[in-house]
Structure 1
Amino acid sequence: MITPGDPQGPALSPDDIDDLARRARDGDRDALEDLLGAIRPRVLNICRGVLPYSSDAEDACQEAMLNVATKIDSWGGRGRFTTWLHVVAVNSARSTYRRLKNLATPIDTDVFGHDRPDPRTTSVIAGTRLDLLEAMETIERDHPQFVDPLLLRDVYGLPYDEIAELVDVPLGTVKAQIHHGRKLVRPLLRGDA
């Protein structure tokens, strides 16, 4: 059995991770355990890239790992497993952010007399990832097709061709979605909206 989580052992190559993922997807329980051990540090780093607090990132990582374990059969195997993993981890981090945001905002504004906070003024530090998450939430309401390509390109730096393969749209469409997404996000990050 491979011990990918062992800090003394060598890191697995992308090909090794793809092989583990294929075997895990095909029902090999040992391969799934090895895969989860190998990818956990990567998933945690992705979640930390979105959520500024370690405990929140840990929660998102746990959710992402559960999603990988239960939904690995949705990975088509056409592209790198790690590219699919990025989307799973980012979505888990965004889901955790939404859940925490909803818990922190009073729902009974009539009873408590609270207004919803302005996300541009309530971020921990102006210009943080929280501002970006708020902007993504805003554009997702009217233009959901721009969110994942924009996050995958501008936050995680994935190449356009990998994004196109991952979201299953032509390369030119992905480039256009990212371009239009940037146009929508800029005023939100500046506070113009």
Structure 2
Amino acid sequence: MSTEGLTADEIDDLARRAQSGDRDALEDLLAAVQPRALRVCRGVLPHLADAEDACQEALINIAGKIGSWGGQSRFTTWMHVVAVNAARSTYRRLKNQAVPVETAPLERPDPRTTSVIAGTRLDLLEAMETLERDHPKYVEPLMLRDVYGLPYDEIATLVGVPLGTIKAQIHHGRKLARPLLRGDA
């Protein structure tokens, strides 16, 4: 089966067949979502090899946890969260393995040429790590909305909480993240 250009309905159908134990459907599903999972991981991890490692972890998690997809949202929405979590996990692992290097302090990024969200993706990841440690319930909705642009209703369905609660969590998460991104914390 060619997996290029599958519609969301076709991907959902493959996922349902894979959930019921169809190994061929699982292989086709993984091939179909691999490019999307890699794009998600590249959105978090700037180095291609790191993103590829995270994508591989995401595909393994998808294969192992496909039974936890409830079917209330698109499979690709669920897959998106799995890929984000794999990328963040890879980032944490790499950060823990890193050897500190003595260097001169870095200058603050020039606001005229830097993202309004963060100075770098690493600034954003550091802020999300801090937010996750101190206020974990805000991280996933905030990442899904502000980094990956998922609509509020999909996030609410995916996270399993009412739409109003998701909007409030994202609003409060933004308030908590701003000082971390500005370096005020």
TM over 0.5: yes
Work out the number of aligned pairs and report it: 175
1:45 paired with 2:44, answer: no
| Aligned partner letter, 2:50 | D
1:77 is displaced (CA, Å) by 1.0
- 2:171 paired residue number: 179
- 1:21 paired residue number: 15
| Aligned partner letter, 2:94 | L
- 1:62 paired residue number: 56
Q: Distance in 2 between matches of 1:179 and 1:120?
A: 30
- 1:143 paired residue number: 135
With structure 2 as the length reference, what TM-score do the two structures score? 0.90
1:128 is displaced (CA, Å) by 1.0
Q: Distance in 1 between matches of 2:127 and 2:96?
A: 16
**Identical residues among aligned pairs (%):** 74
The more displaced of 125-134 and 152-161 is 125-134
Q: Distance in 1 between matches of 2:106 and 2:35?
A: 30
**Aligned-residue CA RMSD in angstroms?**
2.0
1:192 is displaced (CA, Å) by 0.8
1:73 paired with 2:72, answer: no
Structure 1 gaps, min length 5: 5-9, 107-113
Closer, same or farther in 2 for the Cα pair 1:27/1:174, shift >3 Å? same
With structure 1 as the length reference, what TM-score do the two structures score? 0.86
Closer, same or farther in 2 for the Cα pair 1:34/1:102, shift >3 Å? same
Where 1:46 maps in the other structure, the secondary structure is helix
Where 1:76 maps in the other structure, the secondary structure is coil
- 1:109 paired residue number: none
1:142 is displaced (CA, Å) by 1.6
Closer, same or farther in 2 for the Cα pair 1:152/1:18, shift >3 Å? same
1:105 is displaced (CA, Å) by 4.2
